[in-house]
């Protein structure tokens, strides 16, 4: 398996923006709703190319979600994007009843994910929406690991029928997947082979996991790194195979460890193959201002913490 | 450039187990549902014809609620005249025999708890067999306590039940029709007056006037009541008309029990350009049943057997 | 340990209503906000006794939550109650930023929990709010098992300082705890001893677990039944002791199995003592109309399903 | 009957690690912050005195933003005159040396992104050392990107940053003061005009007038701008005054850069009975900096070093 190399840095939100443009070029019934932060969640790209299919909603995330539902029930494929703090929390009742209970073909883009948002501070650093969206029936939840995957995921979620939420970030993060790196909704990918431990990560933490794995290899620990870019539905097969073959799992996410990706994996493991697991994520705290790197280090969202957790979990193997 | 495929109607994912409920055959016989033939929808219909439809809708509301043993009487009875005009006065364009016809106008009951009047109206228009009304709120019924799109009932455009949401969905449909498909379809929505306390109503109002959705017509069931009491005792919503005006709507204030006023209001709404319309229909909760009329305590209660007999007697021709 | 007996049936919402009255009698700064369903979530009791400290908000759950925050920041102890579908989902952003990030002393009562709501149908049957509220930092989450515990829990959450959410039901469910049955926020109680399997349940499912345990005893299986009435913070000690001594766990809740009580326990187990676990709950579906008993049976929320799950999980014990 | 204990201020749970940021000493010297003495708050102050405070607030906004290298310039600069009147015109009752005094009036910045003007005002009133302004948005600073109550900064009554929420919190404070504690305290709130698109604003407006909160005064920063452009290009909010009137508020429409008009408006608000007041203050985003004035592109940008020099030059006495 080819090793992933650092190809530069670019925020996943730009992949979302470019993916929307591709969808707009391919399909005339793709519509985008703008929530007054279009230049930040990059729906502005679509707006420039397809002004007739872009509608500004102003600052009303709840109603934008309802309008998207109405569009979907009229045969359109609407995307509404805002910061995740508002695209998943301000409209939770709308996501539950109007979007998911209706099984409406609504696509939500949630930006400013995690504390890597930086100086804006806690209010804008959403760390809870993986839990909120994955508990909703009929919802599909995607967390791309980098720019290229974000673009593929956005196109895929448009072409797929059903409610879907994509989570992306504000800050430039490592690019390491290529145009030919496969992406499929519902499929987790092994990005690095190894049988001592499985690191299941999503979003920018996938790169941190790869970095951690390299360092661990120097110490003779072979970590399997899995990019869990679809959190719902979870790729049970790939993750259970990893649990079986590695006997220990570490989850890594830029989210509360409570009820997030780690929670989804924990639920799968105890039900099928209970192996030791450690969680890398935010430990039931709110974020704060600071620059992204400082914050990621302070909150333990780096390869360093992953390495510690890997050693902890390996020590716990029977 | 192509269209992304989509599957909208009917959706039938909501059944919890195979068995569908069956209507009580004695009641089907008693109500003579077998020989019923649907009311016609035409702008040529007389007010009397529409009034007779409204009366039959009210009878069916009572019949379905007493059988369900739970559900909302007050709002549904109060809005029956409006529903009769919408479906039988030639206001809405639909074909009950081809319920998912693309060109149909859309109806969204934002106040989802008023479902019984929607079901009764759809049955009287021929969207379903009338006897199905007697399965209201029963396990696996297509007639859920609040409209559930997942049950695939013809005429149910969207699930509602969380107040303040249906109107936003309706606005989205109107946006699709006016600015995307440009197909001339109109979208009709009914909200409660207590429902006006939810902020999404005002977000949607602002949105609809910003986008000049003149194909969008909201009607407020102005019965001055909600669950805990009369609106001013729970949360004052007046001046209602000023609010809608300030949010850019063309407003029409009418007696919601006058078939002719309702018809004229919808006629006027259809002529308004560049603005959505809000019809404020003054109604009485539970109208015209003597022991329910204008009494908020009937918001969420079904009649018991005796009360149903009395109500049906009052509704006899 | 004394065996719990069926003492009759009464909905937990009445315990909430009575608890509020007790708080009102004891403390002058307890305030209640009514959301137009006061007769259904039983805040009407408080309204009758303390009209001066009851304020009607009408139907605006988001703003009611904000108003409660303002009251709390002014030294009051405000309770706002509605149906959980609206008291946890319509105001999620408010719970996250205004209540929890502010660490404001706001108390939320969420009624109509679970499908036992019955004929009102899916929109009103909230099955997601355990996930939503437990992922929020600073939040305390309580799910009382019966009427008497609901009353105690309501009083306790009022006397405790910090954001708290209590979940209660509409339909009459078994009463089996007594006035002297101990309740403490953060403490899970063993309601039945046993070392073959631990059934961790919350809400009305605790009674179902006790019934299941009796039947299982006839087959020689001794199940430990734990009433996990505080889901956040979770009583790690009691649950880990059960995992250690029983070697297998079954969770039972009237909630999505995704990210709910079962999820919280799964997270705890894999991190400390991975043992086989089975989940009893709603399997990623919305509810529907019907009468409560029919629905509970259809969705597998009964002692029957618990018994099946216990046998499954015991078979998985190596 | 007793009171339940509660612990409100200061809360200091928000520090992520021990180290607090330190202000750049060269800048502290350059700005002569050491010798600064706070402005006084008195209804006797002249308009000129208040204007000079407003100018100093604007200088501090520029200084803190250029040092932070991120943050919002436009709104904070535009609302500086209003803030100066609130804190130095004797409108608000507070004691900077005893910031959590029970009897203080409450101020809530609903538009949390305008934090820089709140911090600059608090520093100029003596709630904190001025040099702390230079730690804006830095790790562990009490000056978070959006006001964070968890940092325990005196004068920060509540966290805000999610638009539409602060006003509801403020209304809750006003309810506590008028109907529970009956202590005569007043609550002041500032919202943006784009913020008016959030439905919670209208829910809260309805709530505040239902409960006749005449101790509650909201001021709308009417700068006609938001992030993506001018309001009408993003989402029309006009007629703003009609909306507030229809929601039961006493309204006052003023020039938000006229110290005397702002003072008179707050005086008038204090005399209104049985109704909350909304002051609609016409402002320019980024006012009065020549290259920012009335330009929405300055909503969320800090000045770079050169721009800061130019801006400070324009703000020199
Ligand atoms: C978001 C939300 N909150 C609360 C409820 C519960 N509820 C159902 S109907 C109703 C009263 C609605 O009043 P109104 O709109 O006037 O309808 P009417 O009582 O006149 O039928 C309430 C509070 C709900 N369905 N949705
Ligand atoms: C609920 C919510 N949605 C979106 C945002 C992002 N946001 C921050 S400021 C802003 C524009 C606000 O416009 P206005 O109130 O007019 O403030 P101004 O631009 O005039 O400073 C937006 C959309 C937010 N902070 N909160
Ligand atoms: Mg009403
Ligand atoms: Mg503005």
pLDDT of residue D18: 66
Mean pLDDT confidence for C171-179: 98
Q: What pLDDT score does D11 carry?
A: 73
C206-254 pLDDT, tens digit each: 999 999 999 999 999 999 999 999 999 999 999 999 999 999 999 999 9
| pLDDT surpasses 70 at D233 | yes
Residue A265 in contact with residue A200, Cβ under 8 Å? yes
Burial class (CB within 10 angstroms; exposed 0-12, middle 13-18, buried 19+) of D1: exposed
What band does D5 get if pLDDT is binned at 50, 70 and 90? confident
At which residue do the structure tokens 């269209």 appear?
B3
Within 13 Å and on the Cβ side, how many CA atoms surround B315? 27
Contact C190, C1 (CB under 8 A): yes
DSSP D198: S
Instruction: Give yes or no for residue B84 having a pLDDT over 80.
Output: yes
Helices marked H in chain C — which ranges?
12-26, 44-49, 61-72, 84-87, 92-93, 129-134, 147-159, 205-218, 236-246, 261-272, 292-298, 303-316
Partner residue opposite A70 with nearest CB, options B3, B159, B171: B171
CA–CA gap between residue D189 and residue D108 (Å, rounded): 5
- Three-state SS at B38: coil
Residue A211 to residue A215: CA distance in whole angstroms: 7
Residue C113 near residue C126 (C-beta atoms within 8 A): yes
Contacts of B1 in chain A (CB under 8 A): 25-28
Q: From the alpha carbon of B299, which atom of ligand 1 is closest?
A: 19
Q: Which of B12, B14, B16, B298 to mutate to test the interface with C (most CBs of C within 10 A)?
A: B16
By mean pLDDT, which of A254-268, B9-23, C38-52, D237-251 is the weakest? B9-23
The single-letter DSSP state of residue A117 is: G
Q: Give the span between the Cα atoms of C77 and D180, in whole angstroms.
A: 12
Contact (CB<8Å) C286/B150: yes
Angle between helices B74-88 and B47-68 (to 10 degrees): 140
* pLDDT tens digit sequence for D246-275: 999 999 999 999 999 999 999 999 999 999
Q: How confident is the model at residue B17 (pLDDT cuts 50, 70, 90)?
A: low
Residue C256 CA to its chain's centroid (Å): 13
Q: What is the pLDDT of residues C31-49, one digit of tens each?
A: 999 999 999 999 999 999 9
In chain B, DSSP finds a helix count (H) and a strand count (E) of 10, 7
Query: From CA A145, how far away is CA A159, in angstroms rounded?
Result: 20
| Separation of alpha carbons A295 and A116, rounded Å | 7
Q: Any CB–CB contact under 8 A between C192 and chain B? A: no
**pLDDT at residue A187 tops 70:** yes
d(CA B36, CA B52): 14
Interchain pair B162, C63: CB under 8 A: no
Mutate to test the interface with D, among C33, C59, C102 (most CBs of D within 10 A): C102
- At A162 the pLDDT is 96
pLDDT score for C157:
98
Task: Single out the residue of B142, D167, D303 nearest to residue C65, CA to CA.
Answer: D167
Cβ–Cβ of B173/A62 closer than 8 Å? Answer: no
Q: What are the residues whose beta carbons fall under 8 Å from the beta carbon of B243, sequence distance 6 or more?
A: B196, B202, B237, D243, D246, D247
CB-side neighbour CA atoms (13 Å) of B265 = 28
H/E stretch holding B219 reads strand B216-222
Alpha-carbon distance of B194 to D59, in angstroms, equals 48
> Would you call B35 exposed, middle or buried from its count of C-beta atoms within 10 A (0-12, 13-18, 19+)?
exposed
Q: Provide the token pair at D284.
A: 């320019």
Residues contacting residue A311 through CB under 8 Å, at least 6 positions apart: A221
Cβ B43 under 6 angstroms from ligand 1: no
Rounded average pLDDT over B128-144: 97
**Could you count the other beta carbons within 10 Å of the beta carbon of residue C293?**
12
| B75 touches B223 (CB < 8 A) | yes
- A110-154 pLDDT tens trace: 999 999 999 999 999 999 999 999 999 999 999 999 999 999 999
Q: Does the pLDDT at position D58 exceed 70?
A: yes
Q: How confident is the model at residue B18 (pLDDT cuts 50, 70, 90)?
A: low
**B208: closest CA of chain D, how far (Å):** 10
Which residues lie below 8 Å from residue B267, measured CB to CB, with a gap of 6+? none
Nearest Cα of chain A lies from the Cα of C286 at a distance, in angstroms, of 7
Residues C260-314: pLDDT tens digits?
999 999 999 999 999 999 999 999 999 999 999 999 999 999 999 999 999 999 9
A63 C-alpha to center of ligand 3: Å?
22
CA-closest candidate to residue C137, choices D204, A65, D159, A170: D159
CB-CB neighbours of D17 under 10 Å: 13
Task: Give CA–CA dist B1/A28, Å, rounded.
Answer: 6
Catalytic annotation on A61?
Answer: yes
Judged by CB atoms closer than 8 Å, whether chains meet at D139 and A85 is answered as no
Report CB contact under 8 Å: A289, D145.
yes
Q: What angle do CA B177, B179, B184 make, to 5 degrees?
A: 40
Cβ of residue A277 closer than 8 Å to a chain C Cβ: yes
- C residues 71..90 contacting A (CB < 8 A): 85-86, 89-90
When pLDDT is cut at 50, 70 and 90, the band that residue A318 belongs to is: confident
Write the DSSP symbol of residue A123.
Answer: G
A81, containing H or E segment: strand A77-83
Residue with tokens 């609901």: C150
Q: Minimal CA–CA distance to C198: which of C275, C255, C267, C253?
A: C275
Tell me which of B168, B195, B212, B247 to substitute to probe the interface with A (most A C-beta atoms closer than 10 Å): B168
SS3 state at A83: strand
Give the rounded distance of the alpha carbon of B110 from its chain centre: 8
Using a 6 Å cutoff on CB, does residue D74 contact ligand 2? yes
- The shortest CB-CB distance from D144 to any of A58, A288, A299 is to A288
How far is C16 from chain D, CA to nearest CA, in Å?
A: 18
DSSP B279-294: EEEE--TTTT-TTTTT
Instruction: Answer whether the bond into residue D10 is a cis peptide, omega within 30°.
Output: yes
pLDDT tens digits, one per residue of C51-100: 999 999 999 999 999 999 999 999 999 999 999 999 999 999 999 999 99
D43 alpha carbon, distance to own chain's centre: 19
The mean pLDDT of chain D is 96
Convert the pLDDT of each residue in B201-232 to its tens digit: 999 999 999 999 999 999 999 999 999 999 99
Instruction: Give buried/exposed letters for A103-128 (b at 16+ CB in 10 A, else e).
Output: bbbbbbbbbbbbbbbbbbbbbbbbbb
pLDDT the model gives residue D3 = 85
Which tokens sit at D121? 């005002």
Interface A-C: count of C-beta contacts within 8 A: 137
* Distance from C-alpha of D270 to C-alpha of D91, rounded to nearest angstrom: 9
Tokens 């409100």 locate to D8
Name residue, tokens 């979870």. Answer: A234
Residue that has been written with the tokens 């494929």 in this structure = A77
- Probe target for ligand 1 pocket from B76, B299, B302, with the most ligand atoms within 8 Å of CB: B299
Which residue of chain A is at minimal alpha-carbon distance from C255?
A135
Q: Taking 70 as the threshold, does the pLDDT of residue D120 lie above it?
A: yes
Per DSSP, C99 falls in state I
Q: Which of A129, A135, D161, A260 is nearest to C101 (CA)?
A: D161
Q: Does C222 touch chain B (CB under 8 A)?
A: no
Q: Which residue in A28, A48, A61, A278 is the catalytic one?
A: A61
Tell me which residue has tokens 């009036």.
D105
Closest Cα to residue B286, out of B297, B275, B276?
A: B297
Question: Taking residues D102-128, what's their average pLDDT?
Answer: 98
On the question of pLDDT at D17 being above 70, the answer is no
Please give the ipTM for the structure prediction: 0.98
Backbone angle region of B17, left / alpha / beta, with phi > 0 → left and psi within -120 to 50 → alpha: left
Cβ-proximal residues to A173 (8 Å cutoff; 6+ apart), any chain: A9, A10, A11, A12, A116, A146, A204, A207
Start-to-end CA distance of chain A, whole Å, equals: 29
Q: Which tokens sit at A285?
A: 């705290």
Shortest distance, CA A233 to any CA of chain B (angstroms) = 18
- Would you tell me the crossing angle of helices D305-314 and D47-68 to the nearest 10 degrees? 170
Does position A2 have pLDDT exceeding 90, yes or no?
no
> Which residues of chain D does A288 touch, with a Cβ-Cβ cutoff of 8 Å?
14, 16, 139-140, 144, 148
Atom of ligand 2 nearest to the CA of D72: 21
Q: pLDDT tens for residues A55-102? A: 999 999 999 999 999 999 999 999 999 999 999 999 999 999 999 999
Is a pLDDT exceeding 70 seen at residue B33? yes
Q: Which residues contact D265 (CB under 8 A, 6 or more apart)?
A: D252, D254, D279, D281
CA C58 – CA B253 distance, rounded (Å):
24
CA D241/CA D258 separation, integer angstroms: 19
Q: How far apart are CA A307 and CA A286, in angstroms?
A: 24
């Amino acid at each position: 398996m080819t090793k992933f190399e650092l190809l530069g840095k670019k925020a996943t939100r730009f992949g979302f923006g470019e993916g929307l443009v591709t969808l707009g070029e391919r399909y005339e019934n793709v519509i985008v709703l703008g929530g007054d932060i279009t230049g930040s969640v990059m729906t502005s790209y679509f707006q420039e190319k397809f002004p007739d299919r872009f509608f500004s909603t102003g600052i009303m995330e709840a109603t934008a979600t309802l309008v998207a539902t109405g569009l979907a029930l009229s045969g359109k494929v609407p995307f509404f994007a805002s910061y995740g703090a508002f695209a998943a929390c301000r409209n939770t009742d709308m996501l539950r009843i109007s979007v998911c209970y209706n099984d409406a073909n609504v696509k939500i883009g949630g930006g400013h994910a995690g504390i890597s948002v930086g100086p804006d501070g806690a209010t804008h650093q959403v760390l809870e929406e993986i839990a909120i969206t994955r508990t909703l029936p009929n919802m599909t939840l995607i967390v791309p690991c980098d720019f290229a995957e974000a673009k593929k995921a956005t196109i895929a979620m448009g072409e797929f029928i059903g409610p879907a939420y994509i989570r992306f970030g504000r800050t430039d993060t490592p690019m390491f997947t290529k145009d030919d790196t496969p992406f499929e909704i519902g499929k987790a990918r092994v990005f690095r082979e190894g049988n001592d431990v499985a690191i299941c990560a999503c979003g920018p933490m996938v790169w941190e996991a790869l970095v951690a794995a390299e360092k661990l290899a120097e110490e003779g620990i072979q970590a399997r790194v899995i990019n869990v870019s679809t959190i719902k539905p979870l790729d049970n097969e790939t993750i259970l195979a990893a649990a079986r073959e590695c006997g220990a799992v570490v989850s890594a996410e830029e989210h509360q460890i409570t009820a997030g990706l780690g929670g989804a994996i924990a639920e799968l493991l105890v039900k099928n193959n209970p192996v030791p697991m450690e969680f890398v994520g935010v430990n039931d705290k709110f974020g704060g201002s600071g620059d992204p790197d400082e914050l990621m280090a302070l909150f333990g969202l780096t390869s360093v913490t992953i390495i510690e957790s890997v050693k902890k979990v390996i020590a716990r193997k029977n | 450039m192509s269209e992304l495929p989509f599957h909208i109607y009917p959706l039938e994912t909501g059944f919890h187990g195979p068995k569908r409920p069956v209507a009580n055959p004695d009641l089907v016989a008693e109500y003579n549902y077998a020989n019923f033939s649907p009311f016609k929808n035409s702008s040529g219909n007389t007010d009397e014809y529409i009034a007779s439809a409204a009366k039959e809708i009210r009878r069916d509301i009572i019949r379905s609620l007493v059988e369900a043993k739970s559900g909302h009487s007050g709002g549904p009875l109060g809005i029956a005249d409006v529903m009769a005009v919408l479906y039988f006065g030639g206001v809405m364009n639909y074909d009950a025999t081809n319920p998912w016809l693309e060109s149909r106008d859309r109806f969204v009951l934002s106040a989802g708890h008023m479902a019984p009047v929607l079901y009764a109206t759809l049955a009287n228009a021929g969207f379903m067999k009338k006897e199905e009304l007697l399965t209201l709120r029963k396990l696996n019924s297509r007639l859920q306590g609040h409209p559930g799109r997942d049950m695939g009932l013809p005429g149910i455009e969207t699930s509602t039940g969380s107040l303040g949401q249906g109107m936003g969905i309706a606005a989205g449909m109107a946006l699709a029709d006016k600015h995307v498909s440009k197909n001339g379809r109109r979208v009709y929505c009914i909200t409660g007056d207590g429902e006006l306390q939810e902020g999404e109503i005002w977000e949607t109002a602002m949105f609809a006037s910003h986008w000049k959705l003149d194909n969008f017509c909201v009607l407020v069931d102005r019965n001055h009541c909600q669950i805990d009491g009369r609106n001013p005792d729970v949360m004052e919503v007046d001046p209602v008309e000023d609010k809608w005006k300030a949010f850019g709507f063309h407003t029409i204030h009418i007696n919601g029990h006058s078939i002719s006023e309702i018809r004229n209001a919808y006629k006027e709404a259809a002529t308004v350009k560049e603005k959505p319309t809000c019809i404020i229909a003054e109604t009485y909760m539970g109208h015209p049943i003597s022991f329910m009329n204008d009494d908020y305590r009937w918001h969420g209660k079904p009649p018991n057997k005796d009360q149903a007999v009395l109500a049906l007697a009052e509704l006899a021709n």
